[in-house]
Structure 1
Amino acid sequence: MADIQAQTALRILVVDDSSTIRRSAEIFLGHAGHQVILAENGFDALSKIVDCDPALIFCDILMPRLDGYQTCALIKKNARFHATPVIMLSSKDGLFDRARGAIVGAAAFMTKPFSEDSLLQAVGTYAKAKEAAASF
């Protein structure tokens, strides 16, 4: 895990209606030196994304009013954030959920509850993917 923590600090947006999940992600990512921006729902995320310009977004699927699929689709339609990786979070691990996430442009799918190691591995993998895409 030391090599994961050695990566550069990133700005990461975590969108989840569960305060427990938001707090866990904030602690895990904060320990690794990342700046964490929290949003309670899709509308909150869309209002914060322009100001915070995150390198990576973790987004819950099941949220009231604007679900994770809709939130991801709106993010991906914006040219400025199209290359920003969105990792969908769900307590369900179904094929349908994964497929629907891929259709709206999600980079990956993580099952909740997540461990610190799995969260930091995802950051390492998908943040590098964004950096590589930006260098072309």
Structure 2
Amino acid sequence: MGSEMDENHLAGLRVMVIDDSKTIRRTAETLLKKEGCDVVTATDGFEALAKIADHQPQIVFVDIMMPRLDGYQTCALIKNNQMFKGTPVIMLSSKDGLFDKARGRIVGSEQYLTKPFTRDELLSAIRKYVPAG
């Protein structure tokens, strides 16, 4: 019974995944689509900022180490936008240092997931920050 509720909770949820790694984007997209999410991906911060207004994601997962515009800059730009400042941003990184986590908090991210992340970590982040209904 619990999994039905979870599926309903995630069905149609708009999620953005920003990562320069095709493997990470594809993995996250596959996992989230299986849960019924509507997933849009971007390879870097510039592409994400171009897509965010059109797709209006309800939660954003962003890699830290990316070319052109890194995850910290991307998160700060999202959080400084009046329309998206309430959108939860989850940082993704292969580093799990205290400094990196603190820097993520400073720019406004809600959580920090270390890569490789699991399906459960992705889904629990969504459940934690996106209200049901």
Name the TM-score class by shorter chain.
over 0.9
Match among 81, 86, 105 for residue 84 of structure 2: 81
* Matched AA of 1:90: S
* Number of corresponding residues: 130
Aligned identity (percent) is 57
Deviation at 1:101, TM superposition (A): 0.3
* Matched AA of 1:58: F
Q: CA RMSD in A?
A: 1.5
Instruction: Indicate yes or no: 2:28 matched with 1:45.
Output: no
Q: Please report the TM-score for the alignment, with normalisation by the length of structure 1.
A: 0.91
- Please give the residue correspondences for 1:20-59 in structure 2 after superposition, counting only pairs within 5 Å: 20-59=23-62
Instruction: Indicate yes or no: 2:105 matched with 1:102.
Output: yes
Deviation at 1:4, TM superposition (A): 3.1
* Matched AA of 1:101: G
Contact 1:4 1:121 in 2 (8 A): no
Deviation at 1:60, TM superposition (A): 0.2
Match among 4, 12, 15 for residue 12 of structure 1: 15
Q: Hey, what does 2:96 align to over in structure 1?
A: 93
Deviation at 1:117, TM superposition (A): 1.1
Match among 117, 126, 130 for residue 129 of structure 2: 126
For 1:40 and 1:12, how far apart are their aligned partners in 2? Answer: 14
Q: Please report the TM-score for the alignment, with normalisation by the length of structure 2.
A: 0.93
For 2:56 and 2:99, how far apart are their aligned partners in 1? Answer: 30
Q: Hey, what does 1:134 align to over in structure 2?
A: none
- Which runs of 5 or more residues in structure 2 are unaligned? none
Q: Which has the higher contact order (CA 8 A, sep 6+)?
A: 1
